[in-house]
């Protein structure tokens, strides 16, 4: 049986702190990121790569807003589709180049992916998903007054705009993603969490203005294709409790029950680590696999259990993990 892995890549992996998001920056970062996937590919893993688009979709919205007197501005769901295509192209080209340099005969395909949400989801009244650049407190207050944006402080890094992030219900292209992955192709899908759509009373689909959390959508894909490993890449090497505090501790390994306990204690940021851990719990409720949360540069070591945070089911605890392990070195 082929080894399947879903890898959820954060949008910030394509845009480093302090960068403007030029094409040269995006291409350089994509090339660097794709190199970290080579050990898995060389070890015969079949890969579905998903990615975020928070910084990029925010920039696209600004472009539309700035040019609205010259060309019609597009709604948020269309902006998500634009970044799916552009970022998918950049990642696809970077991956193809890495495969060619390493003489690996694999194809890469980017799939424009639609994700069904509930139009009555409470998220539409309580926006939580950060998008776009970081602002100072003064800039955030000004934008809140001028544009009526909802702004929040994001994990000590500054202030960002937040938009509705409804729970994904179904990935429309899930069977095509599964078939392509099982055929040995590297699939890039659900960019930015997928294009949010809902089913109208006449059963037609229609786009809706929101940004679906890419980790939540990735978990649905991982469940549908029965991926044995669900990998969530982020900017930090592992999951932490008491993040940013003097008593911060990294988690090396934990079970679903332990993850739920920390979620109940609000240990994880709403727009950052919380949806990642929630996605891990959702995946492990349906699949007898494991979840790895780490940074791209630590991926190879994390696959061997030497880095990152591994989350497993409570059943596997007796066979494999033992108790919660904390890393007191960080």
E strand intervals along the chain: 3-9, 45-51, 108-110, 114-117, 129-135, 150-153, 159-163, 168-171, 186-189, 195-199, 205-207, 229-234, 239-241, 249-255, 290-295, 309-312, 325-327
* Residue bearing the bigger pLDDT, 233 or 322: 233
User: Chain-centre distance of CA 4, in angstroms?
Assistant: 18
Does residue 7 surpass a pLDDT of 60?
Answer: yes
pLDDT digits 0-9 by tens, 173-201:
999 999 999 999 999 999 999 999 999 99
- What CATH code is assigned to 3-119+167-327? 3.40.1160.10
Least confident of 8-22, 33-47, 165-179, 238-252: 8-22
**Other C-beta atoms within 10 Å of 303: how many?**
20
Q: Which tokens in the block code for residue 298?
A: 């630590």
Report the half-sphere exposure of 129 (CA within 13 A, side-chain side). 29
C-beta neighbour count of 45 within 10 angstroms? 19
pLDDT for 316: 60
The whole-model pTM stands at 0.88
Annotated active-site residue 323? The verdict is: no
The CB density around residue 170, as the number of other CB atoms within 10 Å, is 15
pLDDT at 213 > cutoff 70: yes
φ, ψ dihedrals at 183, nearest 5° = -85, 0
Tokens of 29: 């970062």
* Residue bearing the bigger pLDDT, 130 or 119: 119
Q: Which residue in the list 29, 129, 282, 317 is annotated as catalytic?
A: 129
Among 49-58, 115-124, 260-269, which is the least confidently predicted range?
49-58
Domain ranges of the chain: 3-119+167-327, 127-163
Question: Which residues are paired to 294 by β-bridges?
Answer: 233
Query: What local confidence, expressed as pLDDT, does residue 95 receive?
Result: 97
Q: What Rg value do the Cα atoms of the chain yield, rounded? A: 19
- pLDDT score, position 318: 46
The answer to which of 67-71, 79-83, 85-89, 203-207 has the lowest mean pLDDT is 67-71
Set 10, 12, 58, 274: catalytic member: 12
203 is catalytic: no
Q: Judge whether 95 and 186 are in contact, CB under 8 Å.
A: yes
Q: Quick one: pLDDT at residue 61?
A: 86
Percent with pLDDT over 90 in the chain: 75
Strand partners, 253: 310, 325
Candidates 178, 238, 274, 276; catalytic one: 276
The catalytic position among 214, 274, 290, 317 is: 214
Contacts from 56-60 at CB under 8 Å and sequence distance 24+? 56/11, 56/14, 56/15, 56/21, 56/83, 56/86, 56/87, 56/192, 57/83, 57/131, 57/132, 57/192, 57/211, 58/131, 58/132, 58/133, 58/160, 58/161, 59/21, 59/132, 59/133
Q: How many other β-carbons are positioned within 10 Å of the β-carbon of residue 128? A: 16
Residue 222 has which token pair? 């991982």
Q: What is the mean pLDDT of the chain?
A: 91
Across the range 73-98, mean pLDDT stands at 95
Q: Of how many residues is the chain composed?
A: 330
DSSP 211: -
Decide which of 319 and 67 is more confident.
Answer: 67
Compute the distance between CA of residue 288 and CA of residue 137 in angstroms, rounded to an integer: 44
pLDDT at 93 over 90: yes
* 45-64 confidence digits (pLDDT tens): 999 999 998 888 888 988 98
- Kindly give the residue spans of alpha helices, DSSP state H, lying in 103-150: 137-147
Q: What is the pLDDT of residues 303-320, one digit of tens each?
A: 999 999 999 998 765 455
Residue 129 falls in the annotated catalytic set: yes
Q: Report the alpha-carbon distance of residue 214 to residue 50 in Å, rounded.
A: 7
Catalytic residue among 11, 192, 193, 250: 11
Most confident of 93-107, 156-170, 258-272: 93-107
DSSP 267-278: -S-TTTHHHHHH
pLDDT at site 324: 56
Strands 205-207 and 195-199: antiparallel
276 or 148: whose pLDDT is higher? 276
Is 208 a residue whose pLDDT tops 50?
A: yes
pLDDT band at residue 328 using 50, 70 and 90 as cut-offs: very low
Asked if 276 is an active-site residue, the reply is: yes
- The pLDDT value recorded for residue 329 is 47
Position 280 pLDDT exceeds 60 = yes
Report which of residues 10 and 322 the model is more confident about.
Answer: 10
């Amino acid at each position: 049986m082929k080894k399947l892995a879903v890898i959820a890549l954060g949008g910030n992996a394509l845009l480093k702190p302090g960068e403007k998001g030029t094409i040269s920056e995006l291409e350089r970062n994509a090339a660097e990121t794709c190199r970290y996937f080579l050990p898995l590919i060389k070890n015969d893993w079949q890969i579905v790569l998903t990615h975020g688009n928070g910084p990029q979709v925010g920039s696209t919205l600004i472009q539309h807003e700035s040019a609205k007197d010259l060309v019609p501005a597009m709604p948020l769901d269309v902006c998500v589709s634009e970044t799916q295509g552009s970022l998918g192209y950049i990642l696809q080209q970077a991956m193809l180049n890495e495969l060619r340099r390493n003489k690996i005969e694999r194809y890469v395909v980017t799939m424009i992916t639609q994700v069904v949400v509930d139009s009555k989801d409470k998220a539409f009244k309580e926006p939580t998903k950060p998008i776009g650049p970081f602002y100072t407190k003064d800039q955030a207050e000004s934008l809140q007054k001028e544009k009526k944006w909802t702004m929040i402080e994001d994990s000590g890094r500054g202030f960002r705009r937040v938009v509705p992030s409804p729970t994904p219900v179904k990935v429309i292209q899930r069977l095509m993603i599964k078939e392509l992955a099982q055929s040995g192709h590297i699939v890039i899908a659900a960019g930015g969490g997928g294009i949010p759509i809902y089913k109208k009373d006449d059963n037609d689909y229609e786009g809706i203005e929101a940004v679906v959390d890419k980790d939540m959508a990735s978990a649905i894909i991982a469940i549908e294709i029965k991926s044995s490993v669900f990998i969530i890449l982020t900017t930090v090497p592992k999951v932490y409790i008491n993040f940013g505090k003097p008593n911060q501790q990294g988690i090396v390994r934990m079970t679903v029950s332990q993850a739920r306990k920390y979620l109940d204690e609000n240990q994880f940021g709403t727009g950052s680590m919380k949806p990642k851990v929630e996605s891990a719990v959702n995946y492990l409720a349906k699949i007898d696999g494991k979840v790895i949360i780490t940074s791209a540069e630590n991926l190879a070591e994390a696959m061997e259990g030497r880095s990152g945070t591994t989350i497993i089911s409570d059943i596997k605890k007796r066979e494999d993990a033992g108790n919660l392990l904390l890393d007191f070195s960080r």
